[in-house]
């Protein structure tokens, strides 16, 4: 392969740095070091950048500063210091070297050194233009790191010092400084995301960030980096808290949420952050005490986005813009639901169990909010559809099964609700008795789905005469896990009630209510439910 030179080499280096393709950048280092490459003074900078960024990627999605990191980053630190000692270094390289050094010191828990490096970079003077996307991102990260350092140092100071008026005033000043840094970083990050998306479109998809690769059987979405994600989330949260604490009538925090979400909404960049912020803004709007209906109409972020979309669509408005708080809440939660369910890890391998648990919890938190909002609006059809989609990853999660059953009951699909509850009990009992039996659940789920697809009127006619099959009844053993007992008892009671009130199938109701009574007697902590179970059993027998 022929060596790249001149402008072609510079363009390739800029591209791989924007991609975060550090392996490719290391392959280009010999060309960078060669004579007349035009990038000779950046050789040590690129070496240090490769070491630092590769190490941070290996740490995982969350950067946790620790002093032990210094040993592995010592070579990168020496390389960056040698760049800064060279008087012939141009201003762009000098700025980037200082910001990378600040990032390194922050990762090593050296907050004061990190702040000194940021001060030495001169980035706050604004004299150095952003020649590349990488430079823009580094400066955005520089402001974020400064804010995180100030915030971390302030938290440490609060733990070590006693509270006094002087310290309190200084703390307030540092908090304001940190918030201002986060805001500057967020503005630059939004510009970076917009420019990155343009570059990706202009290159017809040639820019493929390394975060799009598959790791451990899970597809990781392209992201803007942990530091910038954290900053964008932090500025919205802090502004929202500041608005509430000072009892302002404005909605700066809400406006920051809208600004970031509308920026990320039509882009492939930062989907994980968009999902998280959409859920947080929905929660904030649900709890909001200010008259946000009027504020929504005056939102600068929404107005700018609407103008941009109108430029492409003209008079035919082919997009939806929420006109009230409840519309905005529902829209945000539906966006968050789509993104969170897309990220759920479907693999059942043991090495991905933690990722699966975390992604499932993330999705369930959105489902809880959707249940709260849609049930208030009596939109049970939408709610049941959402939980039906969730069945593809429900497996042994009794919570999702129960929510699907309850939403089906509210929708009037009693036959389907009964089948879902029966399957939930079988799944719970199989899980508590033997983990190996979980593999057989897929066939039972398939038969449950196919059976429930028949019309509701047809099921009402046949449920009176058709009770449970013997095999199904035999599989409904009492759970051996006390923590699941309350869930199973509630399912037995609900099933009994459905069969009595909707299908007049008293034999099935007797069977379920009897099992509920037996389970109450088995677990002494649940004796308070025994009376209710006996009452349902008496009604079924009567």
DSSP 222-263: P-S-HHHHHHHHHHHHHHHHHHHHTT-SS-HHHHHHHHHHHH
Element (H, E) at 214: strand 214-215
Residue 440 has what pLDDT? 42
Residue 540 pLDDT greater than 60, yes or no: yes
Q: Of 323, 295, 181, 310, which Cα lies nearest the Cα of 238?
A: 181
Residue 384 has what pLDDT? 93
Residue 210 has what pLDDT? 42
Residue 128 pLDDT greater than 50, yes or no: yes
Dist CA 27 CA 4 (whole Å): 11
Residue 344 pLDDT greater than 90, yes or no: no
Residue 472 pLDDT greater than 80, yes or no: no
In a domain, 103, yes or no: yes
Rounded mean pLDDT of the chain? Answer: 78
Say whether 322 sits in a helix, a strand or coil: coil
Residue at a domain's end among 129, 157, 189: 129
Say whether 140 sits in a helix, a strand or coil: helix
Of the chain, the end-to-end C-alpha distance in Å amounts to 87
In a domain, 524, yes or no: yes
Residue 525 pLDDT greater than 60, yes or no: yes
Q: Could you identify the residue written with the tokens 């099935």?
A: 508
In a domain, 477, yes or no: yes
In a domain, 202, yes or no: no
In a domain, 399, yes or no: no
Element (H, E) at 178: helix 165-202
Dist CA 288 CA 326 (whole Å): 11
Give how far the C-alpha of residue 2 lies from the chain's centroid of Cα atoms, to the nearest Å: 43
Give me the number of domains the chain comprises: 2
In a domain, 190, yes or no: no
Residue 107 has what pLDDT? 95
Residue 429 pLDDT greater than 80, yes or no: no
Residue at a domain's end among 129, 162, 192: 129
Dist CA 424 CA 402 (whole Å): 7
Residue at a domain's end among 106, 129, 152: 129
In a domain, 145, yes or no: no
Element (H, E) at 218: strand 218-219
- Domain hosting 70: range is 1-129
Confidence bin at 485 (pLDDT 50/70/90) = confident
In a domain, 233, yes or no: no
Confidence bin at 220 (pLDDT 50/70/90) = very low
């Amino acid at each position: 392969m022929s060596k790249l030179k001149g402008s072609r080499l510079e363009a390739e280096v800029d591209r791989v740095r924007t991609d975060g393709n550090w392996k490719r950048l290391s392959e280009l280092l010999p060309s960078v070091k060669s004579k007349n490459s035009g990038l000779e003074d950046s050789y040590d900078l690129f070496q240090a950048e490769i070491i630092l960024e590769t190490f941070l990627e290996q740490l995982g999605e969350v950067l946790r500063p620790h002093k032990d990191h210094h040993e592995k980053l010592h070579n990168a630190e020496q390389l960056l210091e040698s760049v800064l000692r060279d008087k012939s270094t141009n201003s762009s390289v000098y700025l980037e070297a200082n910001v990378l050094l600040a990032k390194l010191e922050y990762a090593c828990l050296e907050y004061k050194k990190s702040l000194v490096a940021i001060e030495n970079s001169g980035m706050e003077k604004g004299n150095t233009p952003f020649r590349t996307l990488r430079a823009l991102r580094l400066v955005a990260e520089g402001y974020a790191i400064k804010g995180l350092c100030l915030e971390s140092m302030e938290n440490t100071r609060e733990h070590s010092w006693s509270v006094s008026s002087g310290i309190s005033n200084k703390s307030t000043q540092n908090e304001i400084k940190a918030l201002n840094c986060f805001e500057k970083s967020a503005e630059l990050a939004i510009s970076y995301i917009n420019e990155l998306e343009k570059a990706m479109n202009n290159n017809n998809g040639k820019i493929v960030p390394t975060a799009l690769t598959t790791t451990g059987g899970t597809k990781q979405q392209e992201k803007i980096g942990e530091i910038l994600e954290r900053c964008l989330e932090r500025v919205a949260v802090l502004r929202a808290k500041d608005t509430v604490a000072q009892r302002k009538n404005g909605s700066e925090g809400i406006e920051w949420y809208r600004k970031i979400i509308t920026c990320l909404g039509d882009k492939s960049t930062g989907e994980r952050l968009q999902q998280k912020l959409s859920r947080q803004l929905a929660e904030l709007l649900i709890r909001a005490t200010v008259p946000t209906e009027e504020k929504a109409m005056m939102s600068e972020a929404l107005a700018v986005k609407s103008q941009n979309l109108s430029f492409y669509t003209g008079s035919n408005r082919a997009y939806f813009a929420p006109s009230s708080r409840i519309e905005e809440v529902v829209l945000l939660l539906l966006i968050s639901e789509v993104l969170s369910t897309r990220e759920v890890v479907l693999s059942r391998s043991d090495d991905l169990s933690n990722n699966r648990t975390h992604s499932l919890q993330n999705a369930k938190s959105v489902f809880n909010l959707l249940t709260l909002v849609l049930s208030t609006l009596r939109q049970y059809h939408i709610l049941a559809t959402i939980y039906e989609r969730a069945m593809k990853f429900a497996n042994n999660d009794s919570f999702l099964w129960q929510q699907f059953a309850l939403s089906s009951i509210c929708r009037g699909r009693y036959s389907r609700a009964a089948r879902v509850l029966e399957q939930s009990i079988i799944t719970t009992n199989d899980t508590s008795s033997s983990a190996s039996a979980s593999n057989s659940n897929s066939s039972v789920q398939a038969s449950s789905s196919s059976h429930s697809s028949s019309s509701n009127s047809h099921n009402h006619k046949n449920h009176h005469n058709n009770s449970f099959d013997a095999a199904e009844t035999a599989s409904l053993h009492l759970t051996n896990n006390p923590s699941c007992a309350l869930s199973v008892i509630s399912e037995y009671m609900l099933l009994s009630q459905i069969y009595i009130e909707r299908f007049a199938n008293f034999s099935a109701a007797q069977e379920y209510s009897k099992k509920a009574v037996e389970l109450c007697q088995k677990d002494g902590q649940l004796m308070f439910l025994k009376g209710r179970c006996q009452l349902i059993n008496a009604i079924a027998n009567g």
